[in-house]
Structure 1
Amino acid sequence: MTDRVEVFRALHRRPAPDDPLILPGPWDAASARALEAAGYPALATPSAGVAASLGYEDGRTPAEEMFAAVARIVRAVDVPVSADVEGGYGLAPTELVERLLEAGAVGCNLEDSEEGVLKDPRRHADWLAEVCAAAGDRLFVNARVDTFIRGVAEPERVIERAALYVAAGADCVYPIGAPVDVLPLLRAGIQGPVNAIAKVGEGPSPLELGERGATRITFGPYLQRRAAEGIAGLLR
């Protein structure tokens, strides 16, 4: 398990700024196997995609079902898998870490908003510090910053939150919904890797996002949604 975490951590040390780590998001075991077969060195589950596969609205998946889904995905592949576990489901930091490790995840996404409202950044940083302390070097923590999707457009607010989260021990910062033209400013103001989201078949490509400053690229639920659209097209 430690070897997988180290492999995953090393993948974030990119040889060039325009060569981002691309982490597609499986929503079940079958999609995970397909992505591994396509040659990707690691995967990152999307909570919304997993929720859809289980018949839930985004943000409404019970913790037990989410961890079980992550465990099935991890068992299906040999590459490292990071898990989006939303806001941590109200679990104490130690329990959250243990549940992730039991599922076999090498990392996690953790959001800084709840029910559509941004959390107090300092209290959230304190909670993140407890998670990181419990995890030690066993998990790669990706701290999602939700300011842009919660109506706060100033990049400075992202950078302020990112500084707190990195100081708390986060390994990566994820300013979800950041406009492409703001990425260079965020890259300059944030220490460590920066995660950006790419849509499938529209908008900036992963390469373009890397050139703007993204260290790693994830796709949220867009791969799962495109797959569902493909099935609908075949049926038509």
Structure 2
Amino acid sequence: MTQVEKAKLFASLHATGSPLILYNVWDAGSAKAVLGAGAKAIATSSWAVAEAQGYRDGEIIPLAEVERVAARIAAVVDAPLTVDFEGGYAEDEDELAANVSRLVALGAVGINFEDRVVQGPGLYPIDRQARRIAAIREAADNLGLPLFINARTDLFLGRGPDPEVAIGEALDRAEAYREAGASGFFVPGLRDERLIGRAVEGAGLPVNVLTGEGVPAQRRLAELGVARLSHGSSPYVQATATLTEAARYAFF
């Protein structure tokens, strides 16, 4: 497939009632293993990519390392690749567009792009984040690629506002992000079934949910209309736990 064909395929996999399952990876080897298990697309986890290189999450790992990992995955896996790009490693929109353009040149057809101020407090105001998304969309369009921009809101992570209150702002953000050119809406930390349903109904975009404790089962999420399920950092955590346990036996 060409890169454009991969991008179109990736977008088509976001189907209401039959969500795209992304078992997130951290390097070329894990990507090959997940693809061999039946994955339809490959997605990185920023947390896992950073940890695998000895860094912490939050754009601590150098951008050049993120690009190297993405390039190696794209080189060995013939499937759509989406990169967890945190806040894009830039405040300035021109620099942000340049960073995303390099990822596209390396073979990515999608990104996760969050509204948290990665190395600062809180979230970007809605209008500012919308401008950032618009800059990414323009850069991708200039390259002729229908990049899947998965706009992530961090409203439901950590000690944020009550989800019952935050869902209203989340939907406002979804509308602004959609108008700016976002392709999907990611709501990590949202666990309540009723509020997930509201997100699906009101976002106007394919909704992505992060699996985990307290989140409805996959079948139920499909019934609610979720179009994408991400496993996030858990595959890396599970893999390293298995490695640690196996290594213990090697030292006896």
The TM-score normalised by the length of structure 2 is 0.87
Partner of 2:217: 205
Contact 1:93 1:134 in 2 (8 A): no
Matched, 1:178 2:177: no
Aligned AA for 1:131? I
Please name the residue that 1:54 is paired with: 53
Q: How does 1:220-231 map to 2 (within 5 A)?
A: 220-231=232-243
Measure, in 1, the Cα distance between the counterparts of 2:102 and 2:67. 7
2:151 aligns with 143
C-alpha displacement of 1:42: 0.4
Q: Shift of residue 22 of structure 1?
A: 0.5
Per-residue CA deviations over 1:94-122 (Å, capped at 9, x if unaligned) read 30232111221011011101135111111
| 1:38 corresponding residue in structure 2 | 37
1:93 Cα deviation after fit: 3.5
Which of 141, 149, 163 is 2:175 aligned to?
163
| 1:63 alignment partner in structure 2 | 63
* Equivalent residue for 1:100, pick from 100, 103, 106: 103
Correspondence for 2:75: 75
Let me know the Cα RMSD of the aligned residues.
1.6
After TM superposition, the runs of 4+ consecutive aligned structure 1 residues lying more than 4 A away are none
Segments of structure 1 that go 5 or more residues without pairing to the other structure are none
CA apart distance, 1:123: 0.8
Distance apart, 1:213 and its partner CA: 3.0
Q: CA deviation at 1:81?
A: 0.6
Contact 2:27 2:69 in 1 (8 A): yes
- Among 100, 118, 124, the alignment partner of 1:119 is 124
Contact 2:25–2:236 (8 Å) recurs in 1: yes
Return the alpha-carbon distance in structure 1 between the equivalents of residues 127 and 184 of structure 2. Answer: 17
Where 1:108 maps in the other structure, the secondary structure is strand
**Which residue number corresponds to residue 85 of structure 2?**
85
Number of the residue aligned with 1:187: 200
Match in the other structure for 1:216: 228
Q: Aligned to 1:57, what secondary structure does the other structure show?
A: coil
Percent identity of equivalent pairs: 35
Worse-matched range after superposition: 201-210 or 55-64? 201-210
Deviations 1:25-74 (A, max 9, x none): 11111110001101111011110010011110111111111111111111
Counterpart residue number, 1:6: 8
- Contact kept? 1:175, 1:196, Cα under 8 Å: yes
Structure 2 residue aligned with 1:130:
135
The amino acid that maps onto 1:129 is: A
Distance, in Å, in 2 between the alignment partners of 1:228 and 1:204 is: 26
Q: Distance in 1 between matches of 2:41 and 2:28?
A: 14
User: Distance between the aligned counterparts of 2:17 and 2:149, measured in 1?
Assistant: 23
Gap runs ≥5 in structure 2: none
TM-score (structure 1 length as normaliser) = 0.93
CA shift, 1:166, in A, is 0.4
SS for the counterpart of 2:229 is: strand
Once residues 197 and 175 of structure 1 are traced to their aligned partners in structure 2, the CA distance between those partners, rounded to angstroms, is 7
1:203 CA drift (Å) = 4.8
Alpha-carbon separation, structure 2, partners of 1:191 and 1:173 = 9
Distance in 2 (alpha carbons) for counterparts of 1:207 and 1:174: 18
